Structure 1
Amino acid sequence: MQIASAKQLTVYREAFGLAMKIFVLTKTFPADERYVLVSQIRRSSRSVCLNLREAWSKRRYRAHFVQ
């Protein structure tokens, strides 16, 4: 089976699943932590998936792949 997009990668699916779990977990944080800590945690969990997709799109360029 050939992989057509980054969303088909196992690591991407795992990262996305963990990001969704983080969103659910952070809903239980105290109100005073919601605006600073929760925001930071949620942004960092989303960035993992975004970085994987960016790397996948640049894989066809040898210089980016080597990097």
Structure 2
Amino acid sequence: MELKRAGSQPSQPGPATYFTKTVRIDPLNAASTGPALVRSGHLRARRAVALAHAPARPDADRHRRLWLDPVRG
């Protein structure tokens, strides 16, 4: 394990495939070599950032149909 001072590593831009606006990622620890490759970072955004693949909103009509449809056997 290599310990580094906070702020000693440069931040990197976040990937455009995951975010719709500009974000910066500060690395907390790097990927290690071996069976478990783990990497973590601190995400910084200027304003409200929307995810490119936002979770779907609940569909009230779909859930209503599930309750009203007869049981198929």
Query: Higher relative CO (CA 8 A, sep ≥ 6), structure 1 or 2?
Result: 1
TM-score, scaled to structure 1: 0.24
Structure with the largest fraction of helix? 1
Structure with the largest fraction of strand? 2
TM-score, scaled to structure 2: 0.23
